[in-house]
Amino acid sequence: MKHEDLIVGRTRKMPSSYLKFLQDYRAELERFLAISVDFKEQDKEKCADAAKAQKLKLESCFLRLLEVAHEEDPEVWRELGGAYFYGYGVDKNLQQAASWYQLAAKAGDAKAMVGLAICLNRHDQGGNLNEAANWYRKAAELGNADGLKYLALAYNSGRGVPMDKNEASRLMLDWYNSADR
C-alpha cells in the first residue's frame, strides 16, 4: 500500500478549526518526502541540513494534529495512524498506529480499515491474520480497492481465511476493474 493511500484523502467535511492542522501536517510531510528524494540525488550535506529542519517542522505539525485528536474525526485519527506507521513527525510505533487506525476504522473509515489490517498482519507485531482479513473484507465492502486487493491476496495464500484460489481470482478481478486502484 502506498503512503498516500493511508494518510491522504478526504472522507468527510471537517471543522475548519482543525482542518488547518491537517493541511499543515500534509504540506510539511510532502516537503519532507521531497527532501528525502533530493537527498539521494544531490549534495548529501546540504540535503541533510534541510531534512533536519524539515523534520522539526513536521514534528511540530504532528504535535498540533495530536492536539485535535480528541475532536472525534476519523480522518485525523487515520492521519495519526499513518504518521506512527511510517514514523513521519514521530518515532515509528506500529502499536500506536494500530490504535489510531482502529479508532478511525470503527468509525467507518475504509482506508483506516486497510491500515489497521496491515498492522494486524505483521508477524513482528504478533499478527492476527483472521482479524486482518475481516478488516480487509469490511474495507472491500465499502468499495475500497486496497481492501479488495489485500483480501484477494489473503485468499490466495490462506492468511486469515481458508485458501481459495477461485475467490482470490474473483476478488483480484474486482480489484482490477475498480476505478479506485
Please, which residues have CB within 8 angstroms of residue 77's CB and are 6 or more apart in sequence?
69, 100, 101, 103, 104, 107, 109, 112
pLDDT band at 6; cut points 50, 70, 90: very low
Range with the lowest mean pLDDT among 30-34, 114-118, 171-175? 30-34
Q: What is the pLDDT of residue 13?
A: 54
- The alpha-helical segments, DSSP class H, found in the chain are 3-7, 16-41, 44-67, 74-86, 94-106, 110-120, 129-141, 145-157, 165-177
Q: What single letter denotes the amino acid at residue 156? A: N
Range with the lowest mean pLDDT among 35-39, 50-54, 116-120? 35-39
- Residue 142: Cβ within 10 Å count: 13
DSSP states along 99-113: HHHHHHHHTT-HHHH
Q: What is the pLDDT of residue 25?
A: 82
Q: What is the pLDDT of residue 169?
A: 94
Q: What is the pLDDT of residue 31?
A: 78
Delimit the domains of the chain by residue range.
3-97
Q: What is the pLDDT of residue 132?
A: 95
**Is residue 47's pLDDT more than 60?**
yes
Please, which residues have CB within 8 angstroms of residue 114's CB and are 6 or more apart in sequence?
1, 5, 6, 135, 136, 139, 144, 146, 147, 150
- Cα(141)–Cα(151) distance, rounded to whole angstroms? 11
pTM of the model: 0.78
Q: Given CA atoms 113, 118, 124, 130 in this order, what sign does their dihedral have?
A: positive
Tallying the residues shown for the chain, one arrives at 181
- Residue 110: Cβ within 10 Å count: 25
Q: What is the mean pLDDT of residues 106-131?
A: 88
User: What is the rounded radius of gyration, in angstroms, for the C-alpha atoms of the chain?
Assistant: 18
pLDDT band at 43; cut points 50, 70, 90: low
Q: What is the pLDDT of residue 136?
A: 97
Q: What is the mean pLDDT of residues 131-153?
A: 95
Q: What is the mean pLDDT of residues 79-108?
A: 94
* Beta carbons of 98 and 90 less than 8 angstroms apart: no
Q: What is the pLDDT of residue 3?
A: 40
Q: Tell me the pLDDT of the chain averaged across its residues.
A: 83
**Is residue 173's pLDDT more than 80?**
yes
